[in-house]
Amino acid sequence: MKRVGFLLKVKQDQIPEYKKHHEAVWPEMQAALRRTGWHNYTLFLREDGLIFGYFEAAESFQASLDGMSREEINLKWQEFMGPYFEALNGARPDQTMIELEEYFHLD
């Protein structure tokens, strides 16, 4: 198991609507995340739109992303959520996640 932290940025004026969609994440999307090794997945949001995401990967961040890239529902979710994010430059949100280095952990 690998602990993964990542950053994304939501447009500040879109935060309420973005959060509303996460109150009812599609069941098919949730199942795909579980299937591809995303465990204990949690999102944190700062008031300026900065998102810190955390999950425990079965293998690695890249393996989890690769698994999701093969899930049809993920493409639909990424296209649906794309307009809420800043600085995508034509990419999907899941292609712009910035992985953070884990340098300390306390059990």
pLDDT score at 35: 94
- Residue 21 bears catalytic tag: no
How confident is the model over 10-16, as a mean pLDDT? Answer: 96
Helices (H), 1-107: 15-22, 27-35, 61-69, 72-81
Instruction: Give the chain's domains with CATH numbers.
Output: 2-100 (3.30.70.100)
The crossing angle, in degrees rounded to 10, of helices 27-35 and 72-81 is: 120
CA torsion angle 22 26 28 30 (round to 10) = 20
Dist. CA 74–CA 21, nearest whole Å: 15
**Residue in 21, 22, 39, 105 annotated catalytic:** 22
The reported pTM is 0.89
Sign, CA dihedral 47-83-20-24, equals negative
pLDDT score at 90: 82
pLDDT score at 49: 96
Nearest to 32 by CA among 99, 104, 94: 94
User: pLDDT band at residue 88, thresholds of 50, 70 and 90?
Assistant: confident
